[in-house]
Structure 1
Amino acid sequence: MSTALVTYELDGNVALIGLNRPEKRNAINEEVVWALHDAVVRAGEEADVGVLFGHGSNFCAGLDLKEALARASGEQPRPRKRTRHSWHTVFDGIARGPIPFVAALHGAVVGGGLELATAAHIRVADESAIFGLPEGQRGIFVGGGGTVRIQRVVGYTVMADMMLTGRLLNAQEGEREHIVRYVVPQGQALAKARELAALVARNTADTNWRITNVLPRINDLSHDDGLFVEYLTSNIPRPPEAAERLRDFVEGRAKPLAAPGTKSE
């Protein structure tokens, strides 16, 4: 295993990005978040899909509390000027960047780890995964985009319950609350995420961009504005590959879609 805080591997057209502080349960500090930034930017340049995962026994236990304590106690000086939160910048680069991301989740997926996971477009958990938002019990508040991303996934009542009571959700409960779309046996989340990433990579890059960038923005609009943006988007000139794919389908040469629960070709 690399000693880098974030590992990077290109497997064909899929970028594998791994949080690599297993001794700290992959807790995120500023060094980690900017290492993640570099990996995400690189993936956007040379891959068609990214996969996020955690080395060791956990995906991510969230914010490095030593760093949080240093800020809260004044040991870490405050910047002279306010800037955008680094986590917002980096996580938005995942959520609304040039390529889709699949997250492979296991062990602790709590606090900032859950905020990072919900920046991905598809999430897979193995049966060891637990989801939580312990900020209320730590005297702090979510700060990595969770008020927006997590709340839009699970709704206010679920998020409020998790924060107020410290309740942890298991993998099956996470699936029920739409945190994840797939639950697999322990140890198989990364394999399933890579399988899904390969399937997503079969789409055109243009279609994937529209799904990950246009679709969530339409969700934020009114009914009429949403339909208008859909109309504009559907009439943007398509790349030549789109016509080729449509011709393959019409003339019977298109690959069949993967059946539910099966691997794609």
Structure 2
Amino acid sequence: MPDLLMEKDGPVVVLTLNRPARRNAMTLAMFARLADAWDEIDADTDVRVCILTGAGEHFSAGMDLRAMAGDVDDGDDYDVKGRMEREGSDWIYDGLLKTRHPRVPVIAAVEGNAIAGGTEILQGTEIRVAAEGATFGVSEARWSLYPGGGSAVRLARQVPFTVAADILLTGRHLSADEALRLGLVGHVVPDGTALERALEIAATVAANGPLAVEAILRTLRGTSGMTEAEAFQFEAPL
């Protein structure tokens, strides 16, 4: 069974991290497939919105530590070693939505754990739906690791600075309710219904003008950190 599922229904694509037995811990092959999926979505002009979710009871427990050590699953048919030799490793961060912004909005539908890389890839999405029992956290410091998925930079741009520092330096976990209060997620729904709610939101977004949605996205993403005057100059050509 593929470790990343891609299903298209009209203008909506659903990407599902599919290693439920490992709480959808991400491997190098999964990062590669995610990077390829973003390329495929960008190339398909019929796609207007994407949902990212996890199979089973959890969103993602982060990066598989074996993958962190550079191990490659010999049972996986993706040529990770070959891609490393050809392209280096930048595609890992594209897969994680650190160095890549897809053309369309990405909605996260989170059940269960979204820890470490699970919360890091979450920060690259635009709209976030969490089940009541969801848990978030950037726990790398507990393991003497640096949060390489971007959290040391962008978490403080998405929640108050002192809260981001607390989360990053203690490695503590957040409940769905706390994540909602902080603005890390936008919706909290009953357990088992995160994907259902995400699909409803996706349908609403997909019904809007696609050029308007893409222009709004470019402005939201491109003006982060700019002064108001700089941001208005950025959006003027749009």
Q: How many residues of Structure 1 are paired with residues of Structure 2 in the alignment?
A: 225
Q: Do 2:138 and 2:168's aligned partners in 1 also have CA atoms closer than 8 Å?
A: yes
C-alpha distance in 2 between matches for 1:166 and 1:6? 27
| Match status 1:143 vs 2:134 | no
C-alpha distance in 1 between matches for 2:197 and 2:86? 43
1:178 to 183, 199, 202: 183
C-alpha distance in 2 between matches for 1:62 and 1:38? 19
Backbone CA RMSD of aligned residues? 2.3
Q: Which residue of 1 aligns with 2:4?
A: 6
Tell me how far 1:141 sits from its aligned partner. Answer: 0.7
Deviations 1:102-148 (A, max 9, x none): 11011111111111111111000001100111101101011112223
Indicate how the Cα distance of structure 1 residues 88 and 81 shifts in structure 2: closer, same or farther if over 3 A, else same: same
Q: Do 1:54 and 1:105's aligned partners in 2 also have CA atoms closer than 8 Å?
A: yes
| Match status 1:39 vs 2:44 | no
Higher relative contact order structure (alpha carbons within 8 Å, sequence separation ≥ 6): 2
2:207 to 202, 219, 226: 202
Indicate how the Cα distance of structure 1 residues 91 and 209 shifts in structure 2: closer, same or farther if over 3 A, else same: farther
Q: Do 1:115 and 1:149's aligned partners in 2 also have CA atoms closer than 8 Å?
A: no
Q: Do 1:28 and 1:62's aligned partners in 2 also have CA atoms closer than 8 Å?
A: yes
Q: Which residue of 1 aligns with 2:124?
A: 119
Q: Do 2:35 and 2:91's aligned partners in 1 also have CA atoms closer than 8 Å?
A: no
Tell me how far 1:96 sits from its aligned partner. Answer: 2.3
1:85 to 65, 90, 93: 90
Q: Which residue of 1 aligns with 2:66?
A: 66
Indicate how the Cα distance of structure 1 residues 42 and 215 shifts in structure 2: closer, same or farther if over 3 A, else same: same
Name the amino acid aligned to 1:147: A
Tell me how far 1:94 sits from its aligned partner. Answer: 9.0
1:96-115 to structure 2, matched below 5 A, reads: 96-115=101-120
Deviations 1:36-85 (A, max 9, x none): 122222223141110110001100111111222458xxxx9xx7999563
1:242-253 to structure 2, matched below 5 A, reads: none
Name the amino acid aligned to 2:14: L
Q: Which residue of 2 aligns with 1:55?
A: 55
C-alpha distance in 2 between matches for 1:93 and 1:195? 26
Name the amino acid aligned to 1:8: M
Q: Do 1:94 and 1:100's aligned partners in 2 also have CA atoms closer than 8 Å?
A: no
Q: What is the TM-score with the length of structure 1 in the denominator?
A: 0.78
Q: Do 1:40 and 1:93's aligned partners in 2 also have CA atoms closer than 8 Å?
A: no
C-alpha distance in 2 between matches for 1:103 and 1:70? 27
Deviations 1:158-207 (A, max 9, x none): 22212222211100000011111000000000000000000000112111
Q: Which residue of 1 aligns with 2:78?
A: none
C-alpha distance in 1 between matches for 2:185 and 2:29? 27
C-alpha distance in 2 between matches for 1:155 and 1:66? 33
Q: Do 2:18 and 2:54's aligned partners in 1 also have CA atoms closer than 8 Å?
A: yes
Indicate how the Cα distance of structure 1 residues 43 and 93 shifts in structure 2: closer, same or farther if over 3 A, else same: farther
Q: Structure 1: which 4+ aligned runs deviate by more than 6 Å?
A: 79-82
Name the amino acid aligned to 1:139: S
Deviations 1:181-235 (A, max 9, x none): 00000000000000000000011211111122222212321222112222232xx
Q: Do 1:95 and 1:121's aligned partners in 2 also have CA atoms closer than 8 Å?
A: no
Q: Do 1:94 and 1:101's aligned partners in 2 also have CA atoms closer than 8 Å?
A: no
C-alpha distance in 1 between matches for 2:123 and 2:208? 22
Q: What is the TM-score with the length of structure 2 in the denominator?
A: 0.87
Structure 1 stretches lacking a partner, 5+ long: 234-265
C-alpha distance in 2 between matches for 1:94 and 1:142? 14
C-alpha distance in 1 between matches for 2:88 and 2:227? 30
